[in-house]
Amino acid sequence: MLWAGLIVLAIAAVLAARGHISPFGFSGGIGLLVAWYLFEREPTAPPATVEELSALSESLHESSTEFDLPDFPIFLRRIAPGITRGFGKREISKLEFLAGHLPHNRESQAEFQVVFEDAPAPLRVRLFKGDASSIVVNFFTSQPLAALLDREMELFFAERGM
Q: pLDDT tens for residues 42-76? A: 455 455 555 655 555 567 899 999 999 999 999 99
CA-CA distance, 31 to 16, in Å (whole number)? 15
CA-CA distance, 86 to 91, in Å (whole number)? 8
29 and 8 fall within a common domain: yes
DSSP state of 41: S
Structural domain total, the chain? 2
pLDDT at 55: 55
Residue 84 belongs to a domain: yes
CA-CA distance, 121 to 142, in Å (whole number)? 6
33 and 63 fall within a common domain: no
22 and 86 fall within a common domain: no
- Looking at the chain, the whole-number percentage of residues with pLDDT higher than 90 is 57
72 and 149 fall within a common domain: yes
72 and 115 fall within a common domain: yes
131 and 60 fall within a common domain: yes
Residue 45 belongs to a domain: no
- Its domain, for residue 94, covers 50-159
Q: Provide the pLDDT confidence category of residue 162 given band limits of 50, 70 and 90.
A: confident
Q: pLDDT tens for residues 108-141? A: 999 999 999 989 999 999 999 988 889 999 999 9
Residue 133 belongs to a domain: yes
Q: Where are the alpha helices (DSSP H) in 65-142?
A: 71-79, 89-101
